[in-house]
Structure 1
Amino acid sequence: MKYLLIALVGATTLGVSFSAAAAPDQGKVCPPRALVLPLDHGPRAQSTPYLNQLRKARYEAEVKACKGATS
């Protein structure tokens, strides 16, 4: 019984993953989601100020591209 359950769960997982891979591409969401930056200061910093600056620039470029595509 245990092996049957494992086989069913495995088959379901594979089936769902293949159907998700075969789904049509929905494209980019315009406008992009809100920018959330990781903590870049303190004893447990998750990022650096430079990386956050790059993320901000990339986000602004995406917003500009979305505005250009819709107009």
Structure 2
Amino acid sequence: MIGRELIYPLTRLHLGERIPRCRTTDLAQDGAVGGASWLKAVGGEREGCLGVYATVVTPGSVMVGDQGKLAR
């Protein structure tokens, strides 16, 4: 996925580098109980990364339920 574009009906995004997660995903925060092992799962399945940085190529809207497609 990195380096490719994600196309939605009204916008286009360029997918940049992966984003590593920090330990705070497992700590208690405002309104969220801590103690889960999210980071361990993310580390085992996604090499510690949970998202990617994206740059807007074509401005527009992305709505809940929109199906994005990776450009070839």
Give the structure with the higher percent strand: 2
- Same fold flag (TM > 0.5): no
Bigger relative contact order, structure 1 or 2, given CA contacts below 8 A and separation 6+?
Answer: 2
TM-score w.r.t. the length of structure 2 is 0.31
Larger radius of gyration: 1
Give the structure with the higher percent helix: 1
